[in-house]
């Protein structure tokens, strides 16, 4: 039975979908009912996928979806479904893979045409209403697709079947063949390093993205194999990003990507996940180098996150828009005259270190950056610069702010909780750990029938969770346990691991699916192997189960992590670039590290050493005065009368360490022997 002939997005949780609720297009959300309507009417589906901070999504909306002429054609010829890719990454991944399989580059907005049974047969990204930029006009596309469907339906249906089968073979493969026998981490790290920009960091060319899964591989290879060039590639990339216009020097935080090769011209949307991963990597860099640049940028990014991204209740919003009042980046840009008016004579002091640039092709006001003076200055000078930037920040508060997507995504919040906790431990900021714990509590309070939602906004919850939600929250619980040493975090993480098994495990026990087994609206139940801006769900699961098994002493959990890693590596061998997260996670699972600490009552000898040396491979357990079970102590006999530390690497433990100086040297040098 057909749904009402009107726009049906008004009751949706997503701010992105809410942005489209007044369109004259008869949008439907992605539901089983919407898919059934297409079948009942025997109409092709026009699927539009985007997200709230996406600049070109806004452009296409203004040009086409708000236009009565375009809406009339869409409503007559198609069942129109609008998807927020952040709420439904499973749907997005399926149809993005389909578009890329046709030879298109992909991106958002994603515009796909599907058969009435949701199989893709043609698509693209942004289309202007009328032909320009060398792109066909959207009205022309709509009419051409309708004509093709009417005249060549059988041919298009066969093409859609083949394309769907191809996507399924890529995203939902059965595990066949043996896993790689040779280690993949070091060879992949070498290949990644060979395509890195030796001068500017990041991958060569433009646009430039942070690409955290690649940086993770390089960093882990440095930790494991002491490949200095790979460490330096990560440090150089971070330093360049943090000096460029992609970083908000006034307010803190990283934009999504730069459109050029120098990290200068950002695409101004700010995403929660980019900044969580930036904080985490900058912590590793600061622990390794002691460079105050990284400390400062961590403090600024955390400050931005706590100031601008927290929603009521203490969790974190998803993103800030690229546009303000219809202009990209308007909130973040500065004219020299504005700076001089605000700072007076001090403007010259600031602009002695910071530059304003308007590169060729850039149409907005100048971009503030520090590419000409990237290195950290003496502490007094840096404090003076920060004071001047804070005056600009105070003035900027009076501007119209970019829109905020205030839905709380559970997996992104898990990443953020873990990053804040690592940073709070390392820089001795208990207030950051408290903020992380508040966000964690917010997510826990959203649980129903022991299951997590994926998205939360106000009183609305979007169930069921994705596998990535459980993985990220398990890792968040492990991180908080490292900071607070409260057993409740372990208990909750173990329950989440049970939910992951109950709703996402495959029948063979060799891995997990991204979507829950009781979610009936997915055309393909995909694995979640492919990295995007964050490591894949599979990679996050392997890391989470490895960490939790080390922390809890539950060897069965480790066996699950190992089986999942082995099967995932077998699937990833021929597309390791797109699944770098799996290679990283599998290498971490091969040699997990556990640090047992028996400290003084004040925890002032060994705990501070562990706190300031962040390591993605390691979980830390501070032993309580009552005798710990053998599982928790990895079978090590602990003399609880004597302060000390025991480091277990892989399947063996080093001799006890009773000197904090030796512990620091050991933690800094831990690698394969």
Condensed to tens digits (0 to 9), the pLDDT of residues 513-552 reads 999 999 989 999 999 999 999 999 999 999 999 999 999 9
What is the model's pTM? Answer: 0.96
Is the distance from CB of 405 to CB of 51 less than 8 angstroms?
yes
Task: Please report the pLDDT score of residue 369 as a whole number.
Answer: 98
128 and 228 fall within a common domain = no
25 and 148 fall within a common domain = yes
Share above pLDDT 70 across residues of the chain, in percent, rounded to a whole number: 97
Given 340, 370, 401, which residue is the final one in a domain? 401
In tens, the pLDDT along 602-635 reads 999 999 999 999 999 999 999 987 655 555 566 6
Helix axis angle, 555-572 relative to 537-552, nearest 10°? 160
Q: Does residue 191 lie within any of the structural domains?
A: yes
User: What does the radius of gyration of the chain's CA atoms come to, in whole angstroms?
Assistant: 25
CB atoms within 10 A of CB 397: 9
- Distance, in Å, from the CA atom of 530 to the CA atom of 580, rounded to the nearest integer, reads 8
In this structure, which long-range contacts are made by residues 545-549, counting pairs with CB atoms below 8 Å and at least 24 apart in sequence? 545/474, 545/497, 546/585, 546/588, 546/589, 546/592, 547/474, 547/475, 547/478, 547/592, 547/619, 548/474, 548/477, 548/478, 548/490, 548/493, 548/494, 548/497, 549/592
Task: Please report the pLDDT score of residue 633 as a whole number.
Answer: 61
234 and 345 fall within a common domain = yes
Task: Please report the pLDDT score of residue 231 as a whole number.
Answer: 98
139 and 22 fall within a common domain = yes
Give yes or no for residue 673 having a pLDDT over 80.
Answer: no
108 and 210 fall within a common domain = no
241 and 162 fall within a common domain = no
164 and 206 fall within a common domain = no
Given 152, 171, 190, which residue is the final one in a domain? 171
Measure the CA dihedral 564/565/566/570, to 10°. Answer: 100
Give yes or no for residue 457 having a pLDDT over 60.
Answer: yes
Task: Please report the pLDDT score of residue 381 as a whole number.
Answer: 95
Give yes or no for residue 92 having a pLDDT over 70.
Answer: yes
Q: Does residue 145 lie within any of the structural domains?
A: yes
Task: Please report the pLDDT score of residue 625 as a whole number.
Answer: 73
Task: Please report the pLDDT score of residue 671 as a whole number.
Answer: 60
Residue 39 pLDDT level (bands cut at 50, 70, 90): very high
Is the distance from CB of 272 to CB of 318 less than 8 angstroms?
yes
Residue 173 pLDDT level (bands cut at 50, 70, 90): confident
Residue reference for tokens 């390093």? 193
Task: Please report the pLDDT score of residue 626 as a whole number.
Answer: 61
Q: What is the CATH number of the domain that holds 152?
A: 3.40.30.10
Q: Does residue 281 lie within any of the structural domains?
A: no
Task: Please report the pLDDT score of residue 167 as a whole number.
Answer: 94
Task: Please report the pLDDT score of residue 178 as a whole number.
Answer: 60
Within 114-227, residue ranges assigned H as helices are: 138-151, 153-171, 185-194, 212-225
Is the distance from CB of 535 to CB of 273 less than 8 angstroms?
no
131 and 225 fall within a common domain = no
Residue 179 pLDDT level (bands cut at 50, 70, 90): low
The domain tally of the chain equals: 3
Task: Please report the pLDDT score of residue 9 as a whole number.
Answer: 97
Can you give the residue range of the structural domain that contains 621? 593-669
Q: Does residue 510 lie within any of the structural domains?
A: no
Q: Mean per-residue pLDDT for 482-494?
A: 98
Task: Please report the pLDDT score of residue 163 as a whole number.
Answer: 96
- Closest to 672 measured CA to CA, from 218, 230, 220, 225: 225
Residue 641 pLDDT level (bands cut at 50, 70, 90): confident
Q: Does residue 650 lie within any of the structural domains?
A: yes
**If 0-12 CB within 10 Å is exposed, 13-18 middle and 19+ buried, where does residue 644 land?**
buried
- Distance, in Å, from the CA atom of 216 to the CA atom of 203, rounded to the nearest integer, reads 14
In tens, the pLDDT along 506-522 reads 999 999 999 999 998 99
- Closest to 276 measured CA to CA, from 93, 435, 132, 48: 435
- Distance, in Å, from the CA atom of 524 to the CA atom of 515, rounded to the nearest integer, reads 9
Residue 44 backbone zone (phi > 0: left; psi -120 to 50: alpha; other: beta): beta
Task: Please report the pLDDT score of residue 630 as a whole number.
Answer: 52
Strand order in the sheet with 408-409: 408-409, 455-457, 460-462
- Closest to 471 measured CA to CA, from 583, 577, 557: 557
Q: Does residue 654 lie within any of the structural domains?
A: yes
Q: Does residue 568 lie within any of the structural domains?
A: no
81 and 187 fall within a common domain = no
Beta strands in 341-481 (DSSP E): 355-357, 367-369, 404-405, 408-409, 455-457, 460-462
247 and 366 fall within a common domain = yes
Give yes or no for residue 112 having a pLDDT over 90.
Answer: yes
Task: Please report the pLDDT score of residue 296 as a whole number.
Answer: 96
Q: Does residue 573 lie within any of the structural domains?
A: no
What integer best gives the mean pLDDT of the chain?
94
Pair type for strands 120-124 and 257-258: unpaired
84 and 137 fall within a common domain = yes
In tens, the pLDDT along 220-265 reads 999 999 999 999 999 999 999 999 999 999 999 999 999 999 999 9
- Closest to 17 measured CA to CA, from 68, 74, 57: 57
264 and 219 fall within a common domain = yes
Give yes or no for residue 90 having a pLDDT over 80.
Answer: yes
Is the distance from CB of 491 to CB of 442 less than 8 angstroms?
no
Give yes or no for residue 456 having a pLDDT over 70.
Answer: yes
Task: Please report the pLDDT score of residue 583 as a whole number.
Answer: 96
654: tokens are 């080093």
Given 363, 382, 401, which residue is the final one in a domain? 401
Task: Please report the pLDDT score of residue 575 as a whole number.
Answer: 78
């Amino acid at each position: 039975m057909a749904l009402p002939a009107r726009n049906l997005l008004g009751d949706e949780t997503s701010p992105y979908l809410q942005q489209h609720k007044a369109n004259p297009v008869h949008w439907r959300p992605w539901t089983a009912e919407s898919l059934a309507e297409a079948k009942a009417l025997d109409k092709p589906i026009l699927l539009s996928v985007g997200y709230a901070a996406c600049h070109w999504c806004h452009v296409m909306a203004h040009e086409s979806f708000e236009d009565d002429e375009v809406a009339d054609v869409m409503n007559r010829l198609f069942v129109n479904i609008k998807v927020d890719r952040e709420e439904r990454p499973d749907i997005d991944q399926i149809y993005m893979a389909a578009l890329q399989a046709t030879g298109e580059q992909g991106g958002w907005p994603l515009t796909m045409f599907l058969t009435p049974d949701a199989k893709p047969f043609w698509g693209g990204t942004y289309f202007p209403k009328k032909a320009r930029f060398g792109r066909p006009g959207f009205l022309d596309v709509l009419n051409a697709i309708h004509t093709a469907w009417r005249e060549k339906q059988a041919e298009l249906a066969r093409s859609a079947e083949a394309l769907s089968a191809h996507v399924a073979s890529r995203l939902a493969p059965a595990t066949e063949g043996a896993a790689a026998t040779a280690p993949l981490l070091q060879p992949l790290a070498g290949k990644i390093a060979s395509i890195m920009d030796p001068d500017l960091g990041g991958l060569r060319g433009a646009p430039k993205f942070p690409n955290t899964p690649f940086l993770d591989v390089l960093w882990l290879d440095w930790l494991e194999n002491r490949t200095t060039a790979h460490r330096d590639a990560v440090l150089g990339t971070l330093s360049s990003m943090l000096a460029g216009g992609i970083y908000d020097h006034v307010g803190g935080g990283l934009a999504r990507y730069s459109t050029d090769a120098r990290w200068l011209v950002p695409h101004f949307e700010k995403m929660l996940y980019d900044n969580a991963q930036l904080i985490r990597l900058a912590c590793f860099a600061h622990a390794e180098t002691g460079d105050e640049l990284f400390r400062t940028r961590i403090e600024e990014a955390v400050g931005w996150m706590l100031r601008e991204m927290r929603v009521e209740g203490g969790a974190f919003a998803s993103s800030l828009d690229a546009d303000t009042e219809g202009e990209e980046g308007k909130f973040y840009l500065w004219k020299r005259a504005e700076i001089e008016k605000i700072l007076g004579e001090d403007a010259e002091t600031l602009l002695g270190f910071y530059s304003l640039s308007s590169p060729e092709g850039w149409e907005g006001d100048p971009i503030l950056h520090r590419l000409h003076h990237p290195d950290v200055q003496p502490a007094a000078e840096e404090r003076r610069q920060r004071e001047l930037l804070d005056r600009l920040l105070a003035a900027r508060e009076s501007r119209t702010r970019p829109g905020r997507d205030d839905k709380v995504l559970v997996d992104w919040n898990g990443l953020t909780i873990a990053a804040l906790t690592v940073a709070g431990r390392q820089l001795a900021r208990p207030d950051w750990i408290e903020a992380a714990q508040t966000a964690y509590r917010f997510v826990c309070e959203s649980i129903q029938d022991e299951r997590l939602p994926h998205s939360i906004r106000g009183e609305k919850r979007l169930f069921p969770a994705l596998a990535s939600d459980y993985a990220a929250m398990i890792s968040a619980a492990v991180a908080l346990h490292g900071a607070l040493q409260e057993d409740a975090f372990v208990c909750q993480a173990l329950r989440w691991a049970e939910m992951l098994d109950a709703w996402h495990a495959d029948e063979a026990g060799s891995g997990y699916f991204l979507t829950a087994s009781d979610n009936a609206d997915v055309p393909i139940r995909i694995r979640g192997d492919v990295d995007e801006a964050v490591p894949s769900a599979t990679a996050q699961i392997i890391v989470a189960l490895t960490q939790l098994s080390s922390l809890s002493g539950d060897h069965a959990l480790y066996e699950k992590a190992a089986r999942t890693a082995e099967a995932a590596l077998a699937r990833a061998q021929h597309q390791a670039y797109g699944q770098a997260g799996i290679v990283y996670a599998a290498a971490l699972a091969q040699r997990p590290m556990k640090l047992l600490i028996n400290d003084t009552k004040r925890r002032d000898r060994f705990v501070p050493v562990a706190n300031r040396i962040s390591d993605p491979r390691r979980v830390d357990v501070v032993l309580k005065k009552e005798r710990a079970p053998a599982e928790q102590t990895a079978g090590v006999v602990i003399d609880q009368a004597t302060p000390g530390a025991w480091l277990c690497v892989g399947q063996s433990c080093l001799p006890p360490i009773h000197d904090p100086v030796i512990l620091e040297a050991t933690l800094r040098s831990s690698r394969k022997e």
